[in-house]
A = this chain, B = another copy of it.
Amino acid sequence: MGLDDRKLAVLRAIVEDYVATQEPVGSKALVDRHQLGVSPATVRNDMAVLEEEGYIRQPHTSAGRVPTDRGYRLFVDRLSRVKPLSPAERRAIERFLVGAVDLDDVVHRTVRLLAQLTRQVAVVQYPSLARSKVRHLELVPISTTRLMVVMIADTGRVEQRLVEMPGPITGDDVNDLRRLANEKLVGSRLSETPPLVQALVDESSPQLRPAMATLSSVLLETLVERHEERIALAGTANLTRGGLLDFQGSLRPILEALEEEVVLLKLIGEAEPSTTRVLIGDENEIDNLRAASVVSTGYGPGATIVGGLGVLGPTRMDYPGTIATVRAVARYVGELLAQN
């Protein structure tokens, strides 16, 4: 069981070489490229042990070794340190993100930036409504029986929805509704609104009650239950990097998974503070993504987390570099959000 230091060094060397060259690595090549201080034969013995323990494997009998998912896991957990970002990367991040005018803009720039820096598929979740507070509710009459309700959250998100009222409604009514709703809801967390919204209905005057009931049900339905989460995606073309060697020849399952918002949310939406999550191959619960790895983290102004972001790529990826980039981008985005 016990893997001594040299065996770990061998594993690290295998991972690094394989990530760099994309080819199974043999004992001879290893001692050439790394200063291990021992002969190929010794390395072979170590490799035999590593293989027995499930950290590496041979594609064919007479080929070099390739890390297994388990091998990558060990590498990530114990054998690698997070690479510091290059100054060029730092500059790229800053250049990319300054001048964003809008939450939409921030998210789009971020996702493209991430895709570009990591050369992988990038995913960014919009600030979650559940984690946002209501900053303002605006009601705009569209016709005598229709209102557009616009909710502005403190994270910058803006959601709107058309509401069909039960009957004609006057401008004064709209003003009353707006005032009441704002008084009650501004400053509260979206996830906690249901009772507040209920109270809103109960407390309104009999005359306003039907309108308020309709309004509240729409608010609840749209903002809390429904498609409250949004996602941006970029860099799918990066999946074709590395020919068809990664992803065992077919992008099909990956592309399918990337089309499902639910799947993406599962991947990057469960962020915890100041943690970077790395899911390697098998560890992934989604079958279609068994051949891929995901590096994700949360972001938000200050220490709070309002959403997640991350990248997806082949298990054969540069974990230290990717982790560093994902973290750095998340931090910058957090700062950007804090300014608003």
Contact = CB atoms under 8 A, between A and B. Distances in A.
For this chain, the copies found in one complex come to: 2
Interface string A236-247: 110110001000
Which of A152, A237, A251 is packed against the most chain B CB atoms within 10 Å?
A237
6 tightest A-B contacts by CB? Answer: A237-B255, A240-B252, A237-B256, A158-B160, A236-B255, A136-B140
Contacts of A160: 102, 150, 152, 158
B255 A222 contact: no
B259 A240 contact: no
A234 B148 CA distance: 28
A258 B259 CA distance: 14
Interface string A157-175: 0101110000000000000
A138 B136 contact: no
17 contacts: A101-B161, A136-B142, A138-B138, A138-B140, A142-B152, A150-B150, A150-B160, A152-B160, A162-B340, A235-B259, A236-B258, A236-B259, A237-B252, A237-B255, A237-B256, A240-B250, A251-B251
A150 B142 CA distance: 14
B135 A142 contact: yes
Nearest to A237: B255
Nearest to A238: B255
Contacts of A135: 142
A156 interface: yes
Interface string A203-229: 000000000000000000010000100
Interface in A284-331: none
A162 B102 CA distance: 7
Nearest to A254: B237
A140 B161 contact: no
Nearest to A163: B101
Contact of A251 (B136, B235, B240): B240
Contacts of A255: 236-237, 239-240
B222 A237 contact: no
A136 B101 CA distance: 21
